[in-house]
Structure 1
Amino acid sequence: MAVKNYYEILGVSKSATKDEIKRAYRRLAKEWHPDVNPDPRAEEQFKLINEAYHVLSDDEKRAQYDRILESGDERKYRDFMEYIQEFLQEVWKGIRRKPGPRKGEDIRLRLELSLEEAAFGCEKSIEYERWVDCPQCEGKGYLGESIEKETCHACEGTGRRVSGIFDFPRPCSVCRGRGYLIKNSCSLCAGRGRVARLSTVKVSIPPGTDEGDVLKVKGFGHTGERGGEPGDLYLRVVLKPHPVFRKIGKDLHREVFISFPLAVLGGVVKVKTLSGEELEVFLQPGVECGSTKTIPGMGFPSSGSAGNLVLTFRIEVPKDPSGKIKKLLMKLAKELGEKGVDTEPHLMEKIRRAIQSVL
Structure 2
Amino acid sequence: MRIKDYYQILGVSRDATIDEIKRAYRRLARQYHPDVSSEEDAEEKFKEINEAYHVLSDQERRKQYDSILTTGDEKKYKDFMEYIQEFLESIWQGMRRAPKPKKGADIRLKLELSLEEAAFGCEKEIEYERWMDCPSCEGKGYMGQMEKVVCHACEGTGRRISGIFNFPRPCSVCKGRGFIVKNPCPSCGGRGRVAKHSVIKVKVPQGTDDGEILKVPGKGHMGERGGEAGDLYLRVSLKPHPVFKKIGKDLHTEVFISFPLAVLGGITKIKALDGTYHEVFVQPGTECGSTKRFKGLGFPGGDLVITFRIEVPKNVNANMRSILEKLAKEMREEGIDYTGGMINKILGILRL
Relative to the length of structure 2, the TM-score reads: 0.70
Q: CA deviation at 1:57?
A: 5.9
Instruction: Read off the aligned partner of 2:313 and give its amino acid letter.
Output: P
- Give the structure 2 partner of residue 136 of structure 1: 136
Q: CA deviation at 1:135?
A: 1.1
1:88 to 84, 88, 93: 93
- Give the structure 2 partner of residue 32 of structure 1: none
Structure 2 CA distance for partners of 1:116 and 1:297, relative to 1, 3 Å? same
Structure 2 CA distance for partners of 1:245 and 1:164, relative to 1, 3 Å? farther
Instruction: Read off the aligned partner of 1:121 and give its amino acid letter.
Output: G
Structure 2 CA distance for partners of 1:174 and 1:351, relative to 1, 3 Å? closer
Instruction: Read off the aligned partner of 2:182 and give its amino acid letter.
Output: K
- Give the structure 1 partner of residue 15 of structure 2: none
- Give the structure 2 partner of residue 119 of structure 1: 119
- Give the structure 1 partner of residue 268 of structure 2: 269
- Paired with 1:331 and 1:166, the residues of 2 have a C-alpha distance of 99
Q: CA deviation at 1:327?
A: 1.9
Q: Is the 8 A contact 2:131 2:222 kept in 1?
A: yes
- Give the structure 2 partner of residue 27 of structure 1: none
2:312 to 296, 311, 317: 317
- Paired with 1:277 and 1:165, the residues of 2 have a C-alpha distance of 74
- Paired with 1:224 and 1:143, the residues of 2 have a C-alpha distance of 20
- Give the structure 1 partner of residue 302 of structure 2: 307
Correspondence list, 1:168-183, <5 A: 170-183=169-182
SS at structure 2 position matched to 1:325: helix
- Paired with 1:57 and 1:142, the residues of 2 have a C-alpha distance of 33
Structure 2 CA distance for partners of 1:63 and 1:278, relative to 1, 3 Å? farther
SS at structure 2 position matched to 1:128: strand
Instruction: Read off the aligned partner of 1:223 and give its amino acid letter.
Output: M
- Paired with 2:189 and 2:283, the residues of 1 have a C-alpha distance of 75
- In the alignment of these two chains, the number of paired residues is 282
Q: Is the 8 A contact 2:94 2:170 kept in 1?
A: no
SS at structure 1 position matched to 2:261: helix
Q: Is the 8 A contact 1:256 1:314 kept in 2?
A: yes
Q: Is the 8 A contact 1:18 1:57 kept in 2?
A: no
- Paired with 1:140 and 1:344, the residues of 2 have a C-alpha distance of 92
Q: Is the 8 A contact 1:271 1:280 kept in 2?
A: yes
Deviations 1:6-42, CA, capped at 9 Å, x for gaps:
xxxxxx9xxxx879xxxxxxxxxxxxxxxxxxxxxxx
- Give the structure 2 partner of residue 151 of structure 1: 150
Deviations 1:126-184, CA, capped at 9 Å, x for gaps:
1110011101111100011x211123334443444567999755544433332322110
SS at structure 1 position matched to 2:125: strand
- Give the structure 1 partner of residue 240 of structure 2: 241
Q: CA deviation at 1:101?
A: 1.5
- Paired with 1:298 and 1:105, the residues of 2 have a C-alpha distance of 41
Structure 2 CA distance for partners of 1:169 and 1:349, relative to 1, 3 Å? farther
- Give the structure 1 partner of residue 219 of structure 2: 220
State the superposition RMSD in angstroms. 3.5
- Give the structure 1 partner of residue 330 of structure 2: 335
If you compute each CA radius of gyration, which structure gives the higher value, 1 or 2? 2
- Paired with 1:185 and 1:191, the residues of 2 have a C-alpha distance of 5
Unaligned residue ranges in structure 1 (runs of 5+): 1-11, 20-53, 68-80, 91-95, 354-359
Q: Is the 8 A contact 1:61 1:168 kept in 2?
A: no
- Give the structure 1 partner of residue 188 of structure 2: 189
Structure 2 CA distance for partners of 1:347 and 1:313, relative to 1, 3 Å? closer
- Paired with 1:335 and 1:324, the residues of 2 have a C-alpha distance of 17
- Give the structure 2 partner of residue 22 of structure 1: none
Q: Is the 8 A contact 2:159 2:168 kept in 1?
A: yes
Q: Is the 8 A contact 2:223 2:230 kept in 1?
A: yes
- Give the structure 2 partner of residue 105 of structure 1: 105
- Give the structure 2 partner of residue 33 of structure 1: none
Q: Is the 8 A contact 2:94 2:169 kept in 1?
A: no
Q: Which moved further from structure 2: 147-156 or 134-143?
A: 147-156
Instruction: Read off the aligned partner of 2:236 and give its amino acid letter.
Output: V
Structure 2 CA distance for partners of 1:63 and 1:299, relative to 1, 3 Å? farther
- Paired with 1:173 and 1:89, the residues of 2 have a C-alpha distance of 12
SS at structure 1 position matched to 2:262: helix
Say whether 1:206 aligns with 2:185: no
SS at structure 1 position matched to 2:305: strand
Structure 2 CA distance for partners of 1:245 and 1:87, relative to 1, 3 Å? farther
Structure 2 CA distance for partners of 1:86 and 1:243, relative to 1, 3 Å? farther
Q: CA deviation at 1:275?
A: 0.3
Q: Which moved further from structure 2: 118-127 or 316-325?
A: 316-325
